[in-house]
Structure 1
């Protein structure tokens, strides 16, 4: 049975919603007029003073719906009952979309980053910031395996996560297969690879896979990859931090143009 147009529109809307939790992160979002908020969630056992009062006032100024929940219900919304401090906020991130939807609208020769189990929130935030600043058309973010888009990621990204082009999927291998079937090159970074990142070109577009901080690119992803690329290293240095690697990828086209 085909999904209704109304259901698909609703699904697309909520793919663009990021739920932020914690009193200070939520306060920072509500104080930023450049960010679009959807709904404020509060636990019904919060004390109505101090920052909770301030959050309510800011939400009311924005004419946002405010919903009160049991503590257990709020934990299900935030997905982090230990750290949400009884507060969560739905933020609309206009550049978020599902990978299967995004493939039809990517520019010719698109350059994507794919995150293969990036578990350190600081690294993830810095990767998102670099990708948003550089020549990257989308960041494939699998909901399974990567660090959650929580306060540490948001802080490390300097708030860039709210406007970054995240392409969402459940499992990375499935998303990479879709990209490969669309003709894109799937590029795994490998220190021993013969071909350099800085000489790589593929007219149908490329996906550059960033592997786990300690394990690198997973075997499952290696089997899907169509290319392996290296970053030339000197002075016996074997590897770079994954966030630094992301920065090099993000600006590689500019480096090639200036060569």
Structure 2
């Protein structure tokens, strides 16, 4: 069984309806409208609720940061890469995906998943090795957004990206050595944004697999942003462009052009 803790994380897991709940623990010491509402939602969903001392919740969660709410649930079902080939909206929908190349900090993972959900990402690709698991810390850091996302775990990220290429998605890497500023790129097509490890960035093979490498221009003394901050900047630019395109406006910034067709894309 998995543990979820925090009001947002448990509430969003209930709303998403993708987890099987065993039971929810609520601290006896907490009495407020937010928890009462959550208890009501649990009962409506047929989930057992138990009132326990706060110390017991801390023992179960393994942390005192549970906000007086802990849920015992079945593990989240991970998808295969094939499950992400089509957008939830159907074949006519433009796909936007996020792939993480070895992000190891669960706080960064959770923050990126929260941004991905907010920016309308259709699927997330995580690696099985050398990356943060979808732990209670990551779920809480995502404020429960991870419960709403389609997430696939893969053994080999390069192979997964090649499969996405074969299904007509552009692979766009974010790298401080990229030649194109992120806001000069047209994100309105089918694309996968690839973010690298904290401090080290993209692995060489992953970098070479990308069709385009973008950068975030920096005006200060440091050369790059934290991976979750960088992901937020670029994903919301993609969201801005795609929303403008859906509204019938010109989505690309002045002077930007669509990526040129590259040999091998979709082959």
Cα shift at 1:110: 1.6
Residue 102 of structure 1, aligned match among 73, 79, 84:
84
Query: What is the aligned partner in structure 2 of residue 216 from structure 1?
Result: 201
Using a 3 Å threshold, how does the CA distance of structure 1 residues 102 and 32 change in structure 2: closer, same or farther?
A: closer
TM-score normalised by L of structure 1: 0.67
Find the partner of 2:3 among 21, 27, 40: 21
Summarize the Cα distance change of 1:160–1:104 in structure 2 as closer, same or farther, 3 Å threshold: closer
**Further displaced range: 230-239 or 204-213:** 230-239
Query: Which of 170, 178, 183 is the matching residue for 1:185?
Result: 170
1:141 aligns with 2:126: yes
Q: What are the superposed Cα offsets for residues 190-247 of structure 1, whole Å, 9 maximum, x if unpaired?
A: 2122212112226751111110002110112112112111112213431001001111
Counterpart position of 1:90: 74
Q: CA RMSD in A?
A: 4.0
Q: Kindly indicate whether residue 230 of structure 2 is the aligned counterpart of residue 245 of structure 1.
A: yes
Aligned-partner Cα distance in 1 for 2:192–2:12: 36
Which stretches of structure 1, 4 residues or longer, exceed 6 Å deviation after superposition?
A: 58-61
- Are the counterparts in 2 of residues 126 and 156 from structure 1 also a CA contact under 8 Å? yes
Q: Pick from 125, 143, 149 the counterpart of residue 164 of structure 1.
A: 149
**1:145 Cα deviation (Å)?**
2.5
Q: Which runs of 5+ in 2 are unaligned?
A: 29-40, 49-59, 64-70, 242-250, 254-267
Residue number in structure 2 paired with 1:34: 15
1:29–1:35 CA contact under 8 A, matched in 2? no
